[in-house]
Amino acid sequence: MFNFLCKTVLHGNSSVEVSLFRKCPSFSSLFVLSPKQVSSDAADNENSSDNIGKSFTTAYLINSCGLSPQSAQSATKHVNFESSRNPDSVIEFLKKNGFSKTQITTLIRKYPRVLMCKSDKTLLPKLEFLRSKGFTDDKLTKTVTAYPHVLHYSLEKQIIPTFEFLSDFLKSEEKACMVLQRYVRVLRLDTEKQVVPYINTLRESGVPESNIAFLIWNQPRMIGIRVDRLKEVVQEVKKLGFNPLRISFVIAALAFFAMSQSTWERKFKIYKSWGWSESQVLEAFRKNPQCLLSSDDKIMSLLDLVVNQLGMRPGVAELPGLVTYSVRKRLIPRISVAQALVSKG
């Protein structure tokens, strides 16, 4: 074949074989490709296929899931499919399990890989487990929508062991369920490497186990704090004179963890603007740390009610207790009754 495609021509006194491949590069290219050309063509085909998949995925996310074009484009970095069969089944599964259209859109935007999950094998067992432990349909859909990555965790290796650990420590499945409802991200923590050292640090600081359980149940976000940071907070709280045996110790620790330095200073400034000195505010904090954990609006409304409307100036002893009460639901109704009784003698 090769000889057929060559011809002999006279060149002076000698003959030279000239390949037709040289005479017709376009013809030769049909038969001879360099390794670089082969690699380039394969990459082009792969990119073309990938682009087609991404185009289909983007269109599906916009048209079927309600994502914005920008969110859909961002989602294609994590998920890519050329058929709607599995995504359709996932969306239908979510609808049947009580997720609203808005919740489904939010869930997919936050965790687009859910569209690649197997509804019966991956999603259903996790939802059924959470329901069996006390999640109502409403709480379940809200919790999963807020943090859909919980659907990514292994049921056997992560979700069940963490829930059982919390149940054992809190001595209540109901309280463990409430912890997950308040902070489902606790399921991402490594129990042995993060939760146990956290508990042991508080134990070694003299905090009773019942108070640690109270802290975890009420403020599970604190479980994720680094142990070295937790030790710093414990030392700061001890310096202020808090007794580790009392519940006020863990509430004060929560205040230090929850508030930045600027927030701490801002709250002090609010109290000082109503006539209290810094030492008085610190004394009030020692009596009831909740007086600094309350929102700025609540502190302002309480002080306005007590000082401006009632003409009182509560001392340090009374102030912490008042801040823990609801102004609208408790203080105003009771004050109104007292004023009515006084007016009638």
Residue 309's pLDDT is 74
pLDDT surpasses 90 at 279 = no
pLDDT > 70 fraction of the chain, expressed in percent and rounded: 82
Q: What is the count of structural domains for the chain? A: 1
CA angle 55, 56, 58 (to 5 degrees): 65
pLDDT surpasses 90 at 125 = yes
Sign (positive or negative) of CA dihedral 41, 43, 46, 47: negative
Question: Which residue, 294, 288, 292, 283, is CA-closest to 240?
Answer: 283
- 62-67, long-range: CB within 8 Å, 24+ apart, which pairs? 64/88, 64/91, 65/91, 65/104, 65/105, 65/108, 65/109, 65/115, 66/101, 66/104, 66/105, 67/105, 67/108, 67/109
pLDDT surpasses 80 at 100 = yes
User: Is residue 295 domain-resident?
Assistant: yes
| Confidence class for position 315, pLDDT limits 50, 70, 90 | low
* Domain extent for 312: 261-345
Structure tokens at 21: 């491949």
**Residue with token string 């009831």:** 288
User: Is residue 71 domain-resident?
Assistant: no
For residues 211 and 242, is the Cβ–Cβ distance under 8 A? no
pLDDT > 90 fraction of the chain, expressed in percent and rounded: 51
The residue that leads in pLDDT, 309 or 223, is: 223
pLDDT surpasses 50 at 21 = no
What burial letters (b/e) apply to 175-204, b meaning 16+ CB within 10 Å?
Answer: bbbbbbbebbbbbebebeebbeebbebbee
User: Is residue 283 domain-resident?
Assistant: yes
User: Is residue 307 domain-resident?
Assistant: yes
pLDDT surpasses 60 at 51 = no
User: Is residue 314 domain-resident?
Assistant: yes
Overall pTM surpassing 0.75 (yes/no): no
Residue-averaged pLDDT of the chain = 83
Least confident residue range of 71-75, 149-153, 223-227:
223-227
User: Is residue 338 domain-resident?
Assistant: yes
pLDDT surpasses 50 at 273 = yes
Q: At 175, is the secondary structure helix, strand, or coil?
A: helix
Which tens digits make up the pLDDT trace of 206-232? 999 999 999 999 889 888 788 998 999
User: Is residue 302 domain-resident?
Assistant: yes
Stretch 1-8: mean pLDDT, rounded? 43
Which tens digits make up the pLDDT trace of 161-189? 999 999 999 999 999 999 999 999 999 98
User: Is residue 293 domain-resident?
Assistant: yes
